[in-house]
Amino acid sequence: MEYKKGNNFLIKSWPHAFLHIDADAFFASCEQSLNPKLKGLPVVTGAERGIVSAASYEAKDLGIGRGIPLWEVKKICPNAIILPSDYESYSLISTRMFSIMRRFVPIVEEYSIDEAFSDLTGMRRPLNCSYHEIGRRIKEQIETELGITVSIGIAPTKSLAKLAANLQKPSGLTVVPGRLIENLLQKIPLNKIWGFGESTTNYLKKFGLKTAYDFTLKDKNWVKQHLNKTGLEIWKELRGEMIYEISNETHEKYKSISKTKTFTPPSNKRDYILGQLIRNLESACIKARRHNLVSNKLIIYLRQQNFQSFGVEIKLDKTTNSSLLITPSLKKVFKKVWQPNIMYRSTGVILSNLKANNKIQESLFTDKIKVIKMEQLTNVIDIINSKFGKHTLHQAASLQVNFTSRGNREAKSNKWTELLKGENYRQHIYLPRWSIKAN
């Protein structure tokens, strides 16, 4: 590789070429795509939650952002169109977006429902065009076929490509060869660096750093002294050295599973907050069982109105994926994070140390009879919920979640109001609904 003398920034244009694609205001854009009459209007999703899940750029221009209570949205823009979320349709459009990418490149890393990475290195000759042209073709194809806009960044590393994609939203295409890395970094504040949280950002600011460029000017020993391994990896990536490769794995292998829930209005009721955590745990365990994974470590956390989060890690006595076996441990430590008279806006759990559910070494002190009974009961719950819908059967401790207002629970997306023949409230065909009328 070639580097500049003095600051050691990469100047070779394309030792590697990574593409990052990020759909713009994805949920709201999906609604506008499914119902073209909404194009150009301030659209907000999240009616069923009572807070904004996503806002179209027309709504964002009015000051409406994610997480804002819907009553505040109505004050800002009385004409805002507030819709319930239709996650199944969003997932279908996401799948189609990634499929379009695979027409051009063989490997696509699905980073989230609306983001993906790909390695374009070596694709210029097969496609007979530049990296910029590859990005333009992918972008044009997605926007034409799906009716949504996407922003694309192309750069020598994944971290730089992600920063580039966010630089010209919406519907931007930013290409950053090695010799222009410095120009990109000078425009990126510390809090926009992928992988840096609030605490890391505030820590670096104490040393007078303001931008990603300031951070990358620090030498390697300084970074090693003040940050962990991840911080050093990010430093290298921002300077043009590839550390993170593209993963072609689908989400069949998880290191952890997290589930969160933001609710409105905020609450300080102990039983309600605990119920939310247990519901989070049930959802995380359902996903773990779906992928035949078990965990021996749980993290629970609560987020206050000022967005400060407090959590605790729990070492489980039994490696499991049954919420019935984990809940007693959760209840024991709940008092360490919950404080009376504090208003909370969201809860979350993380199942970590995941491993395949086979040949797990049992502890000598495990109550095997109890474990077998709980696992059998969990299997029965899964069978019933698969027929009648997620959380049809759930723990009584999470019952309050069903009866506490978290927005307009009667708000239903189009798929519920236009049922096809043979569908019911719990069972329906996995298709978007705007163009389909019920029989």
DSSP one-letter string for 47-115 = TTTTB-SEE-HHHHTTT--TT-BHHHHHHH-TT-EEE---HHHHHHHHHHHHHHHHTT-S-EEEEETTE
31, 109, 110, 115: the catalytic one is 115
Residue 171: CB atoms within 10 Å: 14
115 in active site: yes
CATH topology assigned to domain 257-403: Dna Ligase; domain 1 (3.30.1490)
| Least confident range of 85-94, 318-327, 421-430 | 421-430
**Looking at the whole model, is its pTM more than 0.85?**
no
Over range 219-233, report the average pLDDT: 93
User: Which CATH class for the 26-85 domain?
Assistant: alpha beta
The Cα–Cα gap between 138 and 413 comes to 30
Q: Among candidates 164, 173, 172, 208, which has minimal Cα distance to 190?
A: 208
Asked if 93 and 131 count as a contact pair (C-beta separation under 8 A), the reply is no
Phi and psi (nearest 5°) for 400? Answer: -60, -25
pLDDT reading at 319 higher than 70: yes
DSSP 211: B
Tell me the mean pLDDT in the region 408-427. 59
What Å distances lie between residue 387 and 284, 381, 392, 424, CA to CA?
A: 19, 10, 9, 11
pLDDT at 176: 95
For the chain, the structural domain boundaries read 18-23+88-181, 26-85, 185-237, 257-403
Query: Of the CATH numbers 3.30.70.270, 4.10.320.10, 1.10.150.20, 1.10.10.10, which one belongs to the domain with range 185-237?
Result: 1.10.150.20
Homologous superfamily assigned to 18-23+88-181: Reverse transcriptase/Diguanylate cyclase domain (3.30.70.270)
Residue scoring higher pLDDT (264 or 20): 20
* Closest of 75, 80, 76, 93 to residue 54, by C-alpha: 80
Higher per-residue pLDDT: 358 or 57: 57
Q: What is the DSSP letter of 387?
A: H
